[in-house]
Structure 1
Amino acid sequence: MPEFRDVRLYCFSPGGFLQDRDPIEVVAAQIRGGADVIQLREKGLRKRDRIDLGIKLRDLTRRKGVLFIVNDDIDLALFLDADGVHLGQGDTPIQVARPLMKDKIIGISTHSLEQIDRAVESGADYIGVGPVFDTSTKDDREEIIGLDILLQIKDTCPIPYVAIGGIGKDNISSVVKAGCHRVAVISDIIQAPDIEEQCKALRQILL
């Protein structure tokens, strides 16, 4: 299992993007293409269906040596024995999550320098920083932060950080030039004609 500091490509379960494809195969294709992390992010599924999918993804990621993170559900993360949980600004505070998660990974979404500082001080293991570009994958979109914030933290952030939000093959090079070599990609991968090859192409740029 990789250390989080070695993560480059952070990927996701397909959510509501692909109604006509097996979500397990979608994730398997991402892993074959070089995904280091898979996040279970299925807010539209019923609880039972989310659990069933989570069990299958936990088995797949464990067999393939890929980190498995659950979005915004500590109980499910513990039930699945996930490697960690990812929390948004409005989710369970890390001070509450840490005693439950113990030494498992806790990631925090951040959208400003102030939130980054608070996440670091509170003991987050990594942070998501964004949205860097415009994104269509969230209904409650935050204000676009652009590349400047990545430039500001590239030499000072003491924990791993992952750029997220509208990142794809057309703009990932600018993220790397801003000093960030860890990216989370959703739609540009999930909606690609060949998911495995798209992941490989993105992964190559991140090296």
Structure 2
Amino acid sequence: MRSKDRSKIADYLKCYIILETDLIKLPLEEFFNQCIEAGAKMFQLRNKHKTAKENFQIGEKIRTILDGQDVLFIINDRVDIALCLDADGVHLGEKDLPADIVKRKYNNLIIGYSCNNLKDINYANQSNVDYIGIGPAFPTKTKEDHRTVLSKEDYIKLLNNTKLPAVAIGGITANNLDKFKNIPISGFAISSNICSSENPFEAVKNILRFFNE
């Protein structure tokens, strides 16, 4: 799956699920099966409050569930865990290992990068990452140390300065997607709205409707 080129990654970003596994109300395999059946094709293991060992062990279970599926499995922050799990990629931010160095050393990994301003966008462009996450779009409790919330005008400005596939992230639900109408966003990265749902199939479908309207 790592061999997917950048032009195709955008197809996987429409509903990008950021996994906080403690929020999931269903057995792990059922949760993933519902999400995939509904059309989700990209998953990131984040679990900010778990140890590296815990996330590795959870990642092993997820890797087994996803084996053979046409989806991408990304690890948040930790290049070492991504490599040990043979994940498809890693998502990095300004406080993590430099994205340009990681991309150069591990070119087979899909690299995502978090952006909040033009400086971030320019760095992502220069680093040859594969996609970017732009946010936060709204205030969110899932990530306590989030940066300045962005307006629709901010998104337009940032998207106009990159050709990279981009997802919006931060507090997104099916009820606030109007903010992104008529701008070139590739998809939405969503955590609690899907992870905590008792019906993740419908939660994913509700997000994907944005692209069919």
Task: Give yes or no for TM over 0.5.
Answer: yes
Cα 1:25/1:41, change in 2 over 3 Å: farther
Matched with 1:170 is 175
Matched with 2:77 is 72
Shift of 1:155: 4.6
Q: CA separation in 2, counterparts of 1:72 and 1:134?
A: 21
Matched with 1:33 is 38
Shift of 1:47: 3.0
- Where in structure 1 are there 5+ consecutive unaligned residues? none
Residue identity in the other structure for 1:35: A
Q: Report SS of the residue matched to 2:97.
A: coil
Matched with 1:9 is 15
Residue identity in the other structure for 2:54: D
Cα 1:100/1:24, change in 2 over 3 Å: farther
Matched with 1:120 is 125
Q: CA separation in 2, counterparts of 1:43 and 1:155?
A: 31
Q: Deviations over 1:56-89 (max 9, x none)?
A: 2123223221011010110111111111100011
TM-score (norm 1): 0.90
- Where in structure 2 are there 5+ consecutive unaligned residues? none
Q: Highest relative contact order (Cα 8 Å, sep 6+), 1 or 2?
A: 2
How many residue pairs match? The answer is: 206
Matched with 2:47 is 42
TM-score (norm 2): 0.88
Of 54-63 and 114-123, the range deviating more from structure 2: 54-63
Instruction: Provide the alpha-carbon RMSD of the alignment.
Output: 1.9
Q: CA separation in 2, counterparts of 1:102 and 1:45?
A: 27
Of 69-78 and 89-98, the range deviating more from structure 2: 89-98
Shift of 1:156: 4.3
Q: CA separation in 1, counterparts of 2:184 and 2:17?
A: 20
Q: CA separation in 2, counterparts of 1:181 and 1:109?
A: 14
Q: Deviations over 1:119-146 (max 9, x none)?
A: 1112111110000111111111211012
Cα 1:125/1:141, change in 2 over 3 Å: same
Shift of 1:172: 1.4
Identity across the alignment (%): 32
Q: CA separation in 2, counterparts of 1:178 and 1:47?
A: 37
